């Protein structure tokens, strides 16, 4: 009897100890959690080698979610049905090297939108990808906005993600007049929200030779099926800003990873040999009157990461595209098909002409 009583006391103390450890950990993460302001100015890193050039009426933009150089074709991801947490160090370095080569090769682009760029994360062996991108793009000025900053992500328990610091980048051959981070409101409750992204979009403005202003919006909206309400609020906030900018006479381009299909997405139009699926669409009511979608309907831009990529078997879809204001003509839009070699997304290049 005494033995059983002693065991129960020991078990109770152990449970109390574990509860205190968990409470202490959640309290610490809550205390140090990244708490961005609703609107904040971003630091503009000026290139020392770039020469200021007047932007021509016709120019190119590139958008690419690089998957933090951790989601190449060999990878799956535990959070979306796979088993892997991070690549090997050799895989990570190879993915990043090829990503940098791809970005650097698009010398015709005047502007580049990147999403999921790690600054200092356990999942990518603490490689400063922001600095690496700046190194290979010496002719571009850059802006970085953090959207994921957690001291320790404790899942999965067998191999925690650990420290994560990542965000979005906008690069440009023109010097921005200003760059602003707009926080997007999430829909997750405590404590889950402690370990997920603090979504945002980057707004950069440029003065054109004509004296008019070009506004660029680099976005990475909420993912996952349980974030539908967050996506709705995000779109409302973006629409309010872009309609105001256009009303002031500005040229406006919105692009990036929408984590939604474009309106009227038709899976039969994708002819690149991939298996295709459709899910939640950007609602028709989002697009202001006279604005235009720029989507390459023939190629997938994103693949599922529930398994390593296999063309024809792995489900793919389109979630990376652009929206332009009525005073901009869309010349062309093209997805750069690379077989999802180094990211779970493929780059998209837009060519426009200012009216």
Confidence class for position 23, pLDDT limits 50, 70, 90: low
Q: Check residue 238 and give its pLDDT.
A: 97
Task: Give one DSSP letter per residue of 34-100, joined into a string.
Answer: ----SEEE--EE--SS----PPPSEEEEEEEE-GGG---TT---GGGT---SS--HHHHHHHHHHHH
User: Containing H/E element for 102?
Assistant: helix 89-105
Query: Does the pLDDT value for residue 108 go beyond 60?
Result: yes
Q: What is the pLDDT of residues 186-208, one digit of tens each?
A: 756 666 777 788 999 999 999 99
Q: Check residue 49 and give its pLDDT.
A: 74
In percent, the amount of the chain with pLDDT more than 90 equals 76
Query: Does the pLDDT value for residue 333 go beyond 70?
Result: yes
Q: Check residue 351 and give its pLDDT.
A: 97
User: Containing H/E element for 246?
Assistant: helix 228-247
Residue 111 neighbours by CB distance under 10 Å: 24
* Both tokens assigned to 250: 């500005």
Please give the mean pLDDT across all residues of the chain.
91
Of the listed ranges 221-235, 266-280, 335-349, the one predicted with least confidence: 221-235
d(CA 107, CA 167): 23
Confidence class for position 235, pLDDT limits 50, 70, 90: very high
Q: Which residues pair with 128 in a beta bridge?
A: none
d(CA 16, CA 107): 60
d(CA 21, CA 327): 58
Query: Does the pLDDT value for residue 7 go beyond 90?
Result: no
Residue found under tokens 């629409």: 239
d(CA 245, CA 180): 14
b/e for 256-289, b at 16 or more Cβ within 10 A?
A: bbbbbbbeebeeeebeeebbbeeeeebeeebeee
Confidence class for position 334, pLDDT limits 50, 70, 90: very high
Q: Check residue 189 and give its pLDDT.
A: 62
d(CA 213, CA 249): 8
Q: How far is CA 140 from CA 50, 89, 143, 173, 349, in A?
A: 6, 28, 10, 5, 17
**β-pairing, 200-207 with 178-183?**
antiparallel
Residue found under tokens 């009511």: 285
Confidence class for position 305, pLDDT limits 50, 70, 90: very high
Do 134 and 87 touch, CB atoms closer than 8 A?
A: no
Q: What is the pLDDT of residues 46-68, one digit of tens each?
A: 987 766 666 889 999 999 999 99
* Both tokens assigned to 128: 């400063």
Confidence class for position 21, pLDDT limits 50, 70, 90: low
Of the listed ranges 69-73, 209-213, 296-300, the one predicted with least confidence: 209-213
Query: Does the pLDDT value for residue 326 go beyond 90?
Result: yes
Tell me what the mean pLDDT of segment 148-161 comes to: 91
Q: Check residue 188 and give its pLDDT.
A: 65
Q: Check residue 28 and give its pLDDT.
A: 56
* Both tokens assigned to 82: 């796979």
Query: Does the pLDDT value for residue 350 go beyond 90?
Result: yes
Query: Does the pLDDT value for residue 137 go beyond 70?
Result: yes
Q: What is the pLDDT of residues 263-287, one digit of tens each?
A: 999 999 999 999 999 999 999 999 9
Q: Which residues pair with 334 in a beta bridge?
A: 349
Which range has the top average pLDDT, 20-29, 106-115, 272-281? 272-281
Which range has the top average pLDDT, 138-142, 223-227, 228-232? 138-142
Residue found under tokens 């001291």: 151
d(CA 245, CA 238): 11
Confidence class for position 11, pLDDT limits 50, 70, 90: low
Closest CA relative to residue 347, chosen from 123, 107, 102, 137: 102
């Amino acid at each position: 009897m005494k033995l059983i009583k002693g065991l129960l006391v020991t078990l109770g103390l152990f449970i109390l100890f574990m509860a205190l450890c968990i409470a202490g950990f959640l309290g610490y993460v809550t205390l140090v959690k990244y708490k961005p302001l609703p609107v904040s100015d971003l630091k503009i890193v000026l290139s020392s080698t770039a020469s200021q050039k007047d932007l021509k009426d016709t120019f190119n933009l590139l958008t690419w979610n690089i998957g933090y150089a951790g989601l190449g074709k060999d990878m799956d991801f535990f959070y979306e049905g796979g088993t892997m947490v991070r690549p090997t160090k050799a895989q990570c370095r190879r993915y990043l090297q090829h990503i940098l080569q791809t970005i650097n090769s698009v010398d015709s682009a005047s502007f580049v939108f990147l999403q999921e760029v790690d600054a200092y994360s356990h999942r990518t062996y603490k490689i400063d990808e922001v600095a690496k991108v700046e190194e290979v793009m010496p002719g571009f000025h850059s802006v970085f906005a953090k959207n994921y900053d957690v001291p320790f992500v404790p899942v999965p328990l067998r191999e925690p993600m650990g420290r994560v610091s990542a965000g979005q980048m906008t690069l440009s051959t023109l010097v921005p007049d200003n760059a602003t981070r707009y926080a997007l409101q999430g829909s997750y409750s405590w404590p889950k929200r402690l370990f997920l992204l603090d979504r945002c979009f980057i707004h950069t403005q440029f003065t054109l030779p004509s004296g008019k202003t070009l506004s660029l919006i680099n976005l990475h909206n909420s993912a996952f099926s349980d974030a539908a309400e967050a996506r709705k609020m995000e779109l409302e906030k973006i629409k309010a800003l872009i309609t105001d900018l256009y009303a002031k006479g500005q040229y406006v381009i919105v692009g990036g990873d929408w984590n939604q299909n474009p309106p009227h997405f038709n899976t039969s139009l994708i002819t690149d040999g991939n298996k295709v699926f459709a899910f939640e669409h950007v609602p028709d009511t989002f697009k202001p009157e006279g604005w235009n979608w720029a989507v390459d309907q023939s190629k997938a831009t994103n693949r599922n990461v529930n398994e390593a990529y296999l063309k024809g078997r792995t489900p793919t879809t389109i979630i990376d595209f652009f929206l332009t204001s009525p005073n901009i003509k869309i010349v062309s839009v093209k997805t750069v098909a690379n077989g999802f070699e180094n990211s779970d997304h493929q780059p998209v290049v837009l060519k426009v002409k200012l009216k």
